[in-house]
Amino acid sequence: MAVAMLLTACGGGKKTMSETEKPVGPQFSADSAYTFCQQQCDFGPRTMNSEAHEQCGQWIVEKFQGYGMDVTEQRATLKGFDGTPLQSNNIIASYQPEKEQRILLCAHWDSRPWADNDPDEANHRKPVLAANDGASGIAVMLETARLLQAQPDSARLNLGVDFVCFDAEDWGVPQWSDADDTGDSWALGAQYWAANLHQPGYKARFGILLDMVGGQGAQFYKEGMSMQYASHIVDKVWQAAKVVGFGSMFPAQTGGFYTDDHLPVNKTAKIPTIDIIPYYPDCEQSSFGPTWHTVSDDMAHIDKNTLQAVGQTIVQVLFSEH
């Protein structure tokens, strides 16, 4: 994704944890999420227009359907920065679609076609397996869907949840290209969904984007555009992380300002949406961590503890809503 890096001091207005707040909801299984991540990677890189992409998309549809979700496939031919027609498929899985009050969870599921940030220039035109930058967010959503479906009627949420799997996020201008990168070449699937909602007039209380939520050593600073558009949701999520014991992985400082799938959701769909995305302030390779857009973004660099921290935080947020 296109990035404009900026590190700022933590702002005021920090919410303190109430003595009455406690963990709620089921236990998130990092082992299950890890398996979902591995199963996506088993297809190979899920690059646009590839057989692996089509096969994995069908697998995602069937997994959500298996957990009782209503699934919509939003297929469209989108145009890459280089003019390539991209056969895109945004996959929307809905829990309790009859509920008017809804929460949006989203992640992208396609793989970067070019490892253009790899330390070895020979790898710059090779595809990325995208264990973290793609599969991890979908894995957390699938495990969340599994948990929701497994709840007894007495413990079901009083609202609906929409899991939106965005496609064509990572066809952005590569570093080796001479094309201008204005940011519009990224998040193509999210741009399309925001302008063509899967249900006319679709609304959600808020949205949470999960991007690269399984990496080793990850910490999730408060992303700048999320603070601009939905600071109250950032506060809600970071508070939930504290309550479930993962506050150290969700620092109170602001990290970078990122062009990501949450921007069109905020700007076009007008749904206040935040980005849970890692920030590595001391990583020379990339502020997104050492495997970002490299051939090393594989299962060997996925950390179950990171998946657990993010997944349990999402469970806390969902089961705290009324």
- Going from the C-alpha of 16 to that of each of 19, 165, 243, the distances in angstroms are 9, 33, 11
Q: Which residue is it, tokens 């997944």?
A: 311
Residue 12 pLDDT > 80: no
Dist CA 43 CA 271 (whole Å):
33
3-class DSSP assignment, residue 272: coil
State which residues form the domain around 215. Answer: 3-320
pTM: 0.94
- Going by pLDDT thresholds of 50, 70 and 90, the confidence category of residue 13 is very low
Domain count, the chain: 1
Residue 1 pLDDT > 60: no
- Going from the C-alpha of 57 to that of each of 61, 64, 90, the distances in angstroms are 6, 11, 9
Residue 71 pLDDT > 90: yes
pLDDT of residue 322: 86
Supply φ then ψ for residue 18, to 5 degrees: -70, 145
What's the mean pLDDT in 279-289? Answer: 96
- Tell me the per-residue pLDDT of 72-124, one tens digit each, with 9 for 90 and over: 999 999 999 999 999 999 999 999 999 999 999 999 999 999 999 999 999 99
- Going by pLDDT thresholds of 50, 70 and 90, the confidence category of residue 228 is very high
Is residue 127 within 8 A of residue 46, CB to CB? The reply is: no
What's the mean pLDDT in 33-46? Answer: 98
Residue 146 tokens, joined: 């599994």
Nearby residues of 58 by Cβ (< 8 Å), 6 or more positions away:
none
pLDDT of residue 291: 98
pLDDT of residue 182: 86
pLDDT of residue 116: 98
Dist CA 308 CA 186 (whole Å):
28
Residue 19 pLDDT > 70: no
Is residue 258 within 8 A of residue 1, CB to CB? The reply is: yes
Is residue 125 within 8 A of residue 294, CB to CB? The reply is: no
Domain CATH for 248: 3.40.630.10
Residue 129 tokens, joined: 């397996």
Q: Which element (helix H / strand E) includes 318?
A: helix 304-320
CA angle 132, 138, 141 (to 5 degrees): 130
Is residue 129 within 8 A of residue 43, CB to CB? The reply is: no
Q: Which of the two residues, 96 and 183, has the higher pLDDT score? A: 96
pLDDT of residue 20: 60
- Going by pLDDT thresholds of 50, 70 and 90, the confidence category of residue 15 is very low
pLDDT of residue 2: 47
Chain CA centroid to CA 3, Å: 16
Dist CA 252 CA 11 (whole Å):
9
Percentage with pLDDT > 90 across the chain: 92
